[in-house]
Structure 1
Amino acid sequence: MIHAPENTNKKEVYAMKTVVLAVNDNSKFHLLVNFLRDARFIEMKDNIASV
């Protein structure tokens, strides 16, 4: 499980990672989106790629 680091006086550097997922089931997609929005360690931008 990934979680946010505790508050410390040290500056921490994080590399940005991009993950692309293909989800064919709408209900599972909405569950995933809600989980990611609630996760404090993830910044999520609404960006839908058009094909």
Structure 2
Amino acid sequence: ADEWRKAHPQFPSCAKAALDLRRALNRRDAVEGSPGPRQVESRLRAWRRRFRV
């Protein structure tokens, strides 16, 4: 995600945080009180639409 961010400086840091959170969810060690996987997926989908990933 870091190389992608260099290519796209407008890529929000919160999107990178969501990507990191999704990796954590995939490892099944998500932080308590964090947005659920469905919420993260919908946010990532919105960012993908915005940035045409």
TM-score > 0.5, shorter chain as reference: no
TM-score, structure 2 as length reference? 0.33
**TM-score (norm. length: structure 1):** 0.34
Q: Going by fraction, where is helix more abundant, 1 or 2?
A: 2
**Structure with larger Rg:** 1
